[in-house]
Structure 1
Amino acid sequence: MAAIELDLSELEPPQPWEQVVEQLPRLNQGDWLQLWHHRDPIPLWGLLDRLQLQYRCLARETLSPALAATLGNPPSRARYWVLVWNPADPVVAEQCLALLSR
């Protein structure tokens, strides 16, 4: 089990979408996604809802100090951090919720 970290902050559409979609099958194998993006990826929410995946999108300036320290230095253009996980995997769900509670 591991975080799949994607820096999408320098990419233009449709590259961020393509990179995320390529990684989604791994969410059934005990992994989760952590994305840095330069905009709120609103088109992604409908797909994640249809796939019954959980997600949280936080603006960079709203990250708690503890969470920001855990995540390290974000890419300079990144304005949003997104966490995506499969709620059917209780171990991953617990890890992701613990990360969000920092």
Structure 2
Amino acid sequence: MPDIDVFGRYTYLVTEVVFGAFAYALLSATGALGRAARTVVALYPLAYVWDRYTLEVGVFQINLRTGKEFLGIPIEEHLFMVVVPSLVVGFYEVVNPRDDT
């Protein structure tokens, strides 16, 4: 496996930006930006509570992060909560194209 910690404390942020760009490309190509945005808005509150709780009780620890937090969780986690559902919607739209004819 390649050494992914070459970005040091920015490693997690860089991975979120890269996967976010991929999600954006999928959503743009399929015309699903609006559907992804609605999905993110619907899921974000639950994801935030879940993430805040799991970090608080020590379910996981994030080592390669900036150390910057917003609303009690790392900024990278906020991006994660946008990127993951966006990728899911993007892939769904690619494998299930809409027949608008």
TM-score range, shorter chain: under 0.3
More strand as a share of residues: 1
Structure with bigger gyration radius: 2
What TM-score, normalized to structure 1? Answer: 0.27
Larger relative contact order, structure 1 or 2 (CA cutoff 8 Å, min sep 6): 2
What TM-score, normalized to structure 2? Answer: 0.28
